[in-house]
């Protein structure tokens, strides 16, 4: 098994999340985190440059929120087109998904063709799948299938979302999780859910993948595990989605954005969850950016995603030469994560005893550099 580490990857691909560009002055999130609206397009440009320099990426996937909700509404269309054009400078296919900030700017019927998202029916659903190689399938979920944003006000999915919020969130401001406890904090307006029809579709796709002996990577803007993200930044029905995923033994990794700070977790079924740091929150004038590349092997999923915020989960080596101490840390991190992946019971046990200790250990080893998963 370990000998296969030296083999060529089946394929590699690029990732980036939450660019959230807007031609407005810098600001802060509601939690006070600085946001660099104009700089985020420069982060994307650096990402595209690095992906093209790699020369052998099969595709790039954008994890959603291409334009920020504070973008002036008379600029929403032009800003979205501007960012899509930047992505199109990548020398290969680019796959997009919608996030809440996308929907703050444009309705689904405009977004889907702009982002080249295939329409499944006349209802502007934004979930789909593709196979980059015969051995793998990538599933892109629509985390705002049931949502209070993006659909017409009288649409059944809008009404279903408003009913959920009314039942689960007593606050007048439905974007506020105040007073909600633990994972109940997810019932806020900026999150959403996966509808019954999409759940049935997901079940069918995973069943097909099982028959074809394929491994699956599931991508969605909104995180699917409370272990990998804030409790207030989760898919409304993440439990239902994971129930379908856990029904089969084919999903190896779940990737997401939305939470901005980044996170990692291995669930009780051995599925790796990774939420990506936001490109929006990379400060101007630095040489390290939030974007990444993933190398997929038969039994190994090698993740290189680096961020400008060393206190969080990772940092980018594409444009920044590593110092000696960082190389040493890289070796330590690789050993730590290889051990965790080879013996997943260790991580499950530590997380069961002390989730805080598991989180600290992960952040300690992964802050400067990398994450290697052995599936």
Phi/psi of residue 296, each to 5°? -105, 120
Phi/psi of residue 44, each to 5°? -60, -40
- Per-residue pLDDT at 121: 73
- Per-residue pLDDT at 30: 81
Q: What is the DSSP string of 25-59?
A: --EE-TT--EE-TTTHHHHHHHHHHHHHHH----E
Closest residue by Cα to residue 137 from 251, 307, 15: 251
- Per-residue pLDDT at 306: 60
Phi/psi of residue 23, each to 5°? -85, 65
- Per-residue pLDDT at 29: 85
Task: Please check whether residue 148 is in contact with residue 191, taking contact to mean a CB–CB distance below 8 angstroms.
Answer: no
Instruction: Give me the tens of pLDDT residue by residue for the chain, a chain 375 residues long.
Output: 333 444 678 899 999 999 999 999 999 988 888 999 999 999 999 999 999 999 999 999 999 999 999 999 999 999 999 999 999 999 999 999 999 999 999 999 999 999 999 887 778 999 999 999 999 999 999 999 999 999 999 999 999 999 999 999 999 999 999 999 999 999 999 999 999 999 999 999 999 999 999 999 999 999 999 999 999 999 999 999 999 999 999 999 999 999 999 899 999 999 999 999 999 999 888 766 789 999 998 777 777 766 654 433 333 222 223 333 334 444 454 455 445 445 555 555 555 565 555 444 544 443 333 555 545
| Alpha helix ranges (H) inside 212-259 | 238-247
């Amino acid at each position: 098994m370990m000998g296969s580490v030296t083999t060529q990857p089946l394929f590699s691909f690029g990732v980036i999340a939450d660019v959230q560009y807007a031609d407005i002055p810098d600001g802060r999130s509601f939690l006070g985190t600085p946001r660099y609206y104009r700089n985020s397009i420069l982060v994307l440009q650096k990402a595209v440059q690095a992906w093209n320099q790699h020369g052998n990426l099969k595709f790039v996937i954008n994890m959603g929120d291409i334009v920020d909700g504070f973008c002036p509404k008379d600029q929403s269309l032009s800003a979205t087109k501007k960012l899509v054009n930047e992505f199109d400078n990548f020398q290969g296919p680019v796959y997009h998904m919608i996030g809440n900030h996308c929907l703050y700017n444009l309705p689904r019927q405009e977004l889907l063709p702009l982002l080249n998202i295939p329409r499944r029916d006349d209802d502007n659903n934004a979930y789909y799948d593709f196979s980059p190689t015969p051995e793998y399938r990538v599933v892109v979920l629509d985390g705002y299938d049931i949502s209070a944003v993006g659909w017409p006000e009288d649409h059944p999915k809008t009404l279903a979302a408003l009913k959920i919020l009314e039942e689960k969130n007593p606050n007048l401001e439905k974007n506020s999780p105040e007073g909600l406890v633990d994972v109940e904090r997810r019932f806020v307006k900026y999150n959403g859910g996966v509808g019954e029809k999409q759940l049935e579709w997901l079940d069918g796709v995973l069943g097909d993948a099982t028959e074809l002996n394929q491994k699956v990577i599931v991508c969605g803007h909104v995180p699917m595990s409370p272990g990998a993200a804030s409790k207030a930044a989760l898919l409304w029905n993440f439990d239902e989605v994971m129930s379908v995923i856990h029904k089969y033994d084919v999903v190896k990794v779940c990737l997401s954005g939305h939470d901005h700070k980044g996170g990692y977790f291995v669930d009780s079924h051995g599925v790796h969850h990774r939420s990506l740091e936001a490109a929006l929150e990379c400060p101007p004038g630095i040489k390290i950016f939030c974007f990444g590349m993933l190398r997929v092997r038969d039994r190994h999923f090698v993740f290189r995603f680096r961020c400008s915020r060393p206190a969080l989960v990772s940092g980018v080596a594409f444009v920044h030469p590593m110092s000696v101490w960082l190389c040493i840390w890289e070796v330590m991190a690789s050993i730590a994560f290889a051990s965790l992946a080879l013996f997943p019971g260790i991580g499950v046990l530590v997380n069961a005893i002390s989730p805080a200790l598991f989180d600290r250990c992960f952040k300690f080893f992964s802050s400067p550099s990398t994450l290697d998963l052995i599936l």
